[in-house]
Amino acid sequence: MFSWLTGTFAGKIIATIFVSMVPLIELRGAIPIGVGLGLDLVPTILLCILGNMIPVPFIILFIRKIFALMRRLSPKLDGIVVKMENKAYSKKEILDKYKALGLYILVAIPLPGTGAWTGSLVAALFDIRLKTAFPIIFAGVATAGLIIGLITGGVVALI
């Protein structure tokens, strides 16, 4: 299966989209991976933006219920939930100070601890509705995609 994912054009597209959906990696890792697999830069950026956005509505709509279930299932899972909630609540100052711009910045800066997953978690825990959060997160993901695309394109040009 792995050889199909990396050996065919369709497989490379699917692998790139799936990697962009993974928390922590997101499009920051998926764009260089897609280009490394031989995909062209601009389509890879677009694929990764799309893939990175797929989990967003599910996180915003369901994360509280998922967290409640995790808390009931196990003390270990409760500890994970607490860490994730603390991470989201640590962004409160940014949201209070900059509002929508703060959420955008949180998603747009392609550093560890930022991105669509964190932005969606923050939106859910601070009761920012999907119809408000989704376009802001999309703009942040697109910005991060362009930044990583420029970096990836520069590195590829140097090689």
CA distances from 60 to 45, 133, 150 (A): 23, 8, 29
Please give the DSSP secondary-structure letter assigned to residue 159: -
Torsion of CA 55, 44, 133, 76, to 10 degrees: 40
pLDDT tens readout for residues 110-142: 998 899 999 999 999 999 999 999 999 999 999
CA–CA separation, 67 and 98 (whole Å): 27
User: Which two tokens mark 89?
Assistant: 């609540």
Instruction: Read off the pLDDT of residues 12-45 as tens digits, 9 standing for 90 and up.
Output: 999 999 999 999 999 999 999 999 999 999 999 9
